[in-house]
Amino acid sequence: MSNDKVEKTIPQTQAMFDNYGKLNGDNDILHYDDAFAKERGFRGTLGHGLMYTGYVCDLAAKKYGKDWFYRGRLKVKYVRGVCPGDNLVVSIAADGTAECKSQFDTTLVGSATLA
């Protein structure tokens, strides 16, 4: 287990949203139809929340190692959308505080800890 902050940056593209949607079968047009998403008040199509939750989990597995598989605890809230062109910085602080931030907003807040 690492007590250090872990972080990575993942530039977001529409192709990433499309590929995640092909796997999970999500056909919600908020992820694919730019005009529909903008009509709903968003900057553009929205990334799948569980896709960038997967980014957080990857860092948690790196931070906690084997323990993460047996007693990992994750709590996330999606506070803003992630859109194509966003430069998403994903981090878990030493105390387990988890966050995703783009150049526009904080998009996810929460924690990744051990029971």
Partner 1 sequence: MTRPSDVKPREGDQPASLYKDWKVGAEFPPLPFTVTPDIVKEYMSVVDADPKNYVIDGRQAAPPNTLFVYMMAVMYRLYPPQQGGIMLGNTVEFHSPIWADEDTEVIGSGRVTDKYEKKGRKIICYDVDFKRPDGTMIMSVNHMSAFPE
Using CB under 8 A, list all residues that contact partner 1: 8, 10, 16, 19-20, 22-30, 40, 46, 48-51, 53-55, 57-58, 61-62, 66, 68-78, 110, 115
* Smallest distance from partner 1 to CB 19, Å: 5
Identity of the residue, 30 or 93, whose beta carbon is nearer to partner 1 in the bound complex: 30
**CA geometry: angle 100, 30, 87, nearest 5 deg:** 30
Residue from 57, 84, 101 nearest 109 by CA: 101
Identity of the residue, 77 or 103, whose beta carbon is nearer to partner 1 in the bound complex: 77
Can you tell me which residue has the tokens 């999500």? Answer: 26
User: For residue 11, what are the contacts with CB-CB under 8 A and spacing of at least 6?
Assistant: 85, 86, 87, 88
Give me 56's structure tokens: 């957080």
* Smallest distance from partner 1 to CB 77, Å: 4
* Smallest distance from partner 1 to CB 85, Å: 17
